[in-house]
Amino acid sequence: MKLLKLLSSKPRLALPLCLLPIFAVILVYSVTWAFVWDEGFHLVAAQLIAAGKTPYIDFCFPQTPLNAYLNAGIMLLFGENWHVIHLFSTFYLCVAIWLAADYVLVRLPATMWPFSCSLATAALLGLNVVVVQYACAGQAYAICILSLTAAFRFATVAVQKRPAWMALLAGLFAGSAISCSMLTAPAPLVLLLWLWFRNRAGSRLLKTTAYLLGCALPFSLVISLYLRAPRQTLFNVVQYQALFRRVNWGDATLRDFQTLTGWLASPDALILAALGIAAVLFLRSCSDLNRDEFYLAAAIAIALIVFIACAHPTFERYFILAVPFLSILGGLGLWVLGSRLGAPEHSVLPAAILVTLTALIWGRGLFDERDDEHWSDYEEVAAQVAEVTPINARLYADELVFFLLKRTPTEGMAFSYAERLDLPAAQEQLYHIISLTKLKQQVKAGQFATMQTCRQGVLDEVQPEKSYKHHAEPADCDVFWGPK
């Protein structure tokens, strides 16, 4: 209790110190264990940008490109190494955790509860199994979580201050989020409506204009690419996501059903849902809070969840973009329930139970991943490919292997998911993709000195064992070399 009182005397300074154990756990995980298959094409895109290539124009990259450009800058400064990219992703995530926890700390009434609830918020976000698994990798999740959380913080302050620069910063971060992933698209709109309808000081027109200008600055990268190559940009940013991505996933509707009901078997999701519902139900009775801001957090979370649920197919990991706002509501929910069940001096126990529970759930999730693929497996595969492939020979490989070997992908292979598309030859050339049918023909013709893949579907269709003399299986992947 004395320690809690000491921390409560300067809580905003003490909070980052208390979050260090969570940060340390995430950091160790990110550089030793974190691995996501899809980060391969993100890292290849950054590698190509660092080499002077332009997304959409020189290679296929069906994402908004800001995160790839940021990763390219990191590679130019620190080298093309997945550890460095993971470190920066972890940094983004840790800053977002602190921003969410700090918000709960300063917005709850001045009792013994705010500090405990801020730690609970940090645990709900920073020890969420899916958040840590995907946000610590080389994709855009971490930078999007940070950008959305920062935009929320600036927007809540912007409506209370006369100057418009807070709104500009809110727009800058909101625009950065959507410039890294279109999955964040609803959040900037919700924040724009908030600035317009909840402004209390200064000109709302000036603030919304500043906000939109801030949004436009990072998104100008996409606009410039569209002006240079409208068809390629439209295909990568809109058409592929809206029309073509489902061809890789078989029964996409069944997958959507499994994803949208999967939260029922997720302890993390159930805890967030229970605390969030409690927060919203009791919020109207909390006259000593700025309730509009918590309603804003709920609105952003709901908008993101609904939008992401409409993706076809959708995946569990997409929903982590809403977790910062659900965690803020979770901290509020803990205060709502705990303050009604016990005296302020009992705030430590429920927060400790919640933090311990989330840590145990995360530990169980890590245990369940013990046999999953890791970067070490692909480093073994890449070593085998390097051993049997001449330096200037034509290579078919997964994006992860191209990245590890620091080799420019063969034309059309910077984004392997596009292999399932069946487009006219002129469009394949324009969009820098290649179909499995054409790949099969090239393999039969002996155009690849080496063929490597860890995807069973490609092996079944291409049947490289008929076209190569040698075969090895490092780390349960397949490497063929020596065309017959």
Q: Which residue, 368, 389, 412, sits at the end of a domain?
A: 368
Q: How many domains are contained in the chain?
A: 2
Give the whole-number percent of the chain exceeding pLDDT 90: 72
Considering the domain architecture, whether residues 73 and 193 belong to the same structural domain is answered as yes
Q: Which residue, 368, 402, 428, sits at the end of a domain?
A: 368
Confidence of residue 250 (pLDDT cuts 50, 70, 90): low
Confidence check: pLDDT of 357 > 80: yes
Q: What is the arithmetic mean of pLDDT over 53-62?
A: 97
Considering the domain architecture, whether residues 473 and 426 belong to the same structural domain is answered as yes
- What is the rounded average pLDDT for all residues in the chain? 91
pLDDT value at residue 109: 81
Q: What is the arithmetic mean of pLDDT over 324-343?
A: 86
Considering the domain architecture, whether residues 349 and 428 belong to the same structural domain is answered as no
Q: What is the arithmetic mean of pLDDT over 383-388?
A: 96
Considering the domain architecture, whether residues 162 and 38 belong to the same structural domain is answered as yes
Considering the domain architecture, whether residues 400 and 331 belong to the same structural domain is answered as no
Q: What is the arithmetic mean of pLDDT over 40-58?
A: 97
CB distance 481 to 388 below 8 Å? yes
pLDDT value at residue 242: 84
Confidence check: pLDDT of 298 > 80: yes
Q: What is the arithmetic mean of pLDDT over 60-88?
A: 97
pLDDT value at residue 474: 94
Confidence check: pLDDT of 214 > 60: yes
Considering the domain architecture, whether residues 280 and 351 belong to the same structural domain is answered as yes
Confidence check: pLDDT of 328 > 70: yes
Q: What is the gyration radius of the CA atoms in the chain, in angstroms?
A: 24
Q: Tens digits of per-residue pLDDT, 439-481?
A: 999 999 999 999 999 988 888 888 999 999 999 999 989 999 9
Confidence check: pLDDT of 346 > 80: no
Least confident span in 33-37, 138-142, 222-226, 369-373 = 369-373
Considering the domain architecture, whether residues 414 and 450 belong to the same structural domain is answered as yes
Q: Tens digits of per-residue pLDDT, 106-138?
A: 998 867 788 889 999 999 999 999 999 999 999
Considering the domain architecture, whether residues 449 and 359 belong to the same structural domain is answered as no
pLDDT value at residue 299: 96
Considering the domain architecture, whether residues 159 and 212 belong to the same structural domain is answered as yes
Q: Which residue, 368, 386, 404, sits at the end of a domain?
A: 368
Confidence check: pLDDT of 3 > 60: no
More confident: 455 or 98: 98
Q: What is the arithmetic mean of pLDDT over 428-444?
A: 92
- Which residue range(s) make up the domain with 394? 375-483
pLDDT value at residue 422: 84
Considering the domain architecture, whether residues 64 and 109 belong to the same structural domain is answered as yes
Considering the domain architecture, whether residues 313 and 416 belong to the same structural domain is answered as no
Q: What's the 3-state SS for the chain?
A: CHHHHHHHHCHHHHHHHHHHHHHHHHHHHHHHCCCCCCHHHHHHHHHHHHCCCCECCCECCCCCCHHHHHHHHHHHHHCCCHHHHHHHHHHHHHHHHHHHHHHHHHHCCCCCHHHHHHHHHHHHHHCCHHHHHHHCCCCCHHHHHHHHHHHHHHHHHHCCCCCCHHHHHHHHHHHHHHHHCHHHCHHHHHHHHHHHHCCCCCCHHHHHHHHHHHHHHHHHHHHHHHHHCHHHHHHHHHHHHHHHHHHHCCCHHHHHHHHHHHHHHCHHHHHHHHHHHHHHHHHCCCCCCCHHHHHHHHHHHHHHHHHHHCCCCCCHHHHHHHHHHHHHHHHHHHHHHHHHHCCHHHCHHHHHHHHHHHHHHHHHHHHHCCCCCCHHHHHHHHHHHHHHCCCCCCEECCHHHHHHHCCCCCCCCCCHHHHHCCCCHHHHHHHCCCCHHHHHHHHHCCCCCEEEECCHHHHHHHCHHHCEEEEECHHHCEEEEEEC
Considering the domain architecture, whether residues 342 and 439 belong to the same structural domain is answered as no
pLDDT value at residue 255: 79
pLDDT value at residue 257: 85
